[in-house]
């Protein structure tokens, strides 16, 4: 079983890139399921109905989110319409949407998809992601066969610790949020496939998706202006995780950048 995970889709350029490339990449890789991080697919930031719906129409099976997921109220309707449009599990219970879904997988298997968010350098007020995910796995015991997780976090140490904590219990764990693809893909001792960050799907000649000159100006002057999305050639970044149907151990992790 192959899982295609696509990193943070940024703005109109990122959505257009997914619409152009996703189906071809999915077919080439033989992916059974595609998970796309959509928390910044709206113009400006956040996830909006139009951008998220375009990603679903382009072939995404699950949309995951992060700290900007709830900035656009139009996304709330989509979360109600599509149980596979997620926001971080450890947001308050009263928040729109939910942080997990269970989907059918090949050979009659059931795949649990989790979206969680880190606390370090990001938001210490949300629930602890380690404890929250632990409670979810216990609650859903017997209702799924394998689990995978998008862990949206800033610190690579928190991402690595999260993966180590759930090694052997969650088949594939990848990080999102930093918009920079890491080169540390590996299979942990318990059989979990891990990559610290999938990278960004958006304009290559940018600073994490925004116009470089605006970010440079801020660092040189400390005068903040509203950042604008960059324009130009967009890259699709992510990874393919191959899982064994017998036990759910990860067999391989391979980055994608194209």
Residue ranges covered by each domain of the chain:
2-257
Sign of the torsion formed by the C-alpha atoms of 140, 141, 146 and 147: positive
Tell me which of 68, 152, 177, 179 is the catalytic residue. Answer: 68
Polymer length in residues for the chain? 258
| Active-site annotation holds for 222 | no
- For the chain, 258 residues long, give each residue's pLDDT as a single digit of tens: 999 999 999 999 999 999 999 999 999 999 999 999 999 999 988 999 999 999 999 999 999 999 999 999 999 999 999 999 999 999 999 999 999 999 999 999 999 999 999 999 999 999 999 999 999 999 999 999 999 999 999 999 999 999 999 999 999 999 999 999 999 999 999 999 999 999 999 999 999 999 999 999 999 999 988 889 999 999 999 999 999 998 899 999 999 999
135 backbone dihedrals φ, ψ, rounded to 5°: -65, -40
Q: How many CB atoms lie within 10 A of CB 124?
A: 9
pTM: 0.96
Domain 2-257: state its class: alpha beta
């Amino acid at each position: 079983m192959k899982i295609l995970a696509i990193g943070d889709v940024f703005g109109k350029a990122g959505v257009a890139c997914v619409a152009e490339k996703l189906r071809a990449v999915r077919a080439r890789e033989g992916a059974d399921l595609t998970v796309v991080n959509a928390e910044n697919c709206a113009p400006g930031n956040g996830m909006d109905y139009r951008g998220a719906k375009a990603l679903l129409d382009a072939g995404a099976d699950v949309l995951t989110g992060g700290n900007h997921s709830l900035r656009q109220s139009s996304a709330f309707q989509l979360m109600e319409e599509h149980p596979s449009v997620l926001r971080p599990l450890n947001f308050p219970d009263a928040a729109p949407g939910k942080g997990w879904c269970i989907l059918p997988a090949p050979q009659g298997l059931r795949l649990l998809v989790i979206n969680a968010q880190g606390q370090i350098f990001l938001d210490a007020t949300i629930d602890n992601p380690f404890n929250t995910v632990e409670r979810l796995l216990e609650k859903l015991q017997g209702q799924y066969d394998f689990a995978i997780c998008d862990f949206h976090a800033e610190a690579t140490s928190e991402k690595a610790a999260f993966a180590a904590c759930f090694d052997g219990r969650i088949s594939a764990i990848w990080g999102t949020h930093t918009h920079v693809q890491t080169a540390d893909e590996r299979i942990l001792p318990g059989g979990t496939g891990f990559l610290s960050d999938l990278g960004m799907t958006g304009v290559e000649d940018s600073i994490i998706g925004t116009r470089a000159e605006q970010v440079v100006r801020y660092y040189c002057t400390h005068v903040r202006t509203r950042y604008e999305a960059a324009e130009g050639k967009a890259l699709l970044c992510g990874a393919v995780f191959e899982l064994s149907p017998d036990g759910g151990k990860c067999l391989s992790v391979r980055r994608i950048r194209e």
